[in-house]
Amino acid sequence: MADIRILVGSVYGGALMTAKAIKTALDADGHSVSVLENPTLDDITLNTSALLVCTSTTGQGEIPANLLPFYLALREQLPQQPGRPFGIIVLGDSSYGDTFCGAGELMEEALYETAARKVGETLRIDASETLEPEDEALPWVREWVSAL
């Protein structure tokens, strides 16, 4: 059974709803999941849980305001997390073209700089294609957990 911390970035609530649906599903499977709506560095440095980023993209490929302080602190302090597993679920809209799901790439780059280890391929959920992000997220996350 896995200990998982979900780092949420959300403007309109879609990514947050997705993270909560993941928690409900994985808790029911016997895992231990925390949903962090306003994460700080202490939320990751004081434990060794697997990290799951679940963020939308805002602005022009940017990270939502509730996750931005975490991202900036991570980039600035680079607390080393060698081998720590992480995964990325990113919500975006392909109509934004080049910046599609850009927030996921920013989070991935920052986590790689801490020497954390990515598990699975990034799940990109396109608002132009699906109205129910959790329908895509739940099957993906079950595979992700089994690969931890």
Ligand X SMILES: Cc1cc2nc3c(=O)[nH]c(=O)nc-3n(C[C@H](O)[C@H](O)[C@H](O)COP(=O)(O)O)c2cc1C
DSSP annotation of 132: -
Count of residues binding ligand X (CB under 6 A)?
21
Name the E strands within the chain: 3-9, 32-36, 50-56, 85-92, 117-118, 123-126
Q: Which tokens hold the place of 4?
A: 């998982």
Q: Of 15 and 123, which CB lies nearer to ligand X in the complex structure?
A: 15
Minimum distance between the CB of residue 66 and ligand X, rounded to whole angstroms?
10
Minimum distance between the CB of residue 4 and ligand X, rounded to whole angstroms?
19
Q: Of 43 and 93, which CB lies nearer to ligand X in the complex structure?
A: 93
Contacts of 70 (CB under 8 A, 6+ apart): 7, 39, 40, 41, 43
Q: Which tokens hold the place of 73?
A: 């602190």
CA-to-CA dists, residue 22 to 5, 117, 136, angstroms: 11, 21, 11
Sole window of 7-15, 33-41, 74-82, 110-118 interacting with ligand X (rule: CB under 6 A): 7-15
Pattern of binders to ligand X over 108-127, x per CB under 6 A? -------------------x
Interface with ligand X, residue 104, by CB under 6 A:
no
Cα–Cα dist 140/120, whole Å:
9
Residue whose C-beta lies closest to ligand X: 92
Q: Of 23 and 85, which CB lies nearer to ligand X in the complex structure?
A: 23
Site residues (CB under 6 A) for ligand X, limited to 52-91: 56-61, 91
SS3 assignment, position 145 = helix
Binding site for ligand X (CB under 6 A): 10-15, 56-61, 91-93, 96, 99-102, 127
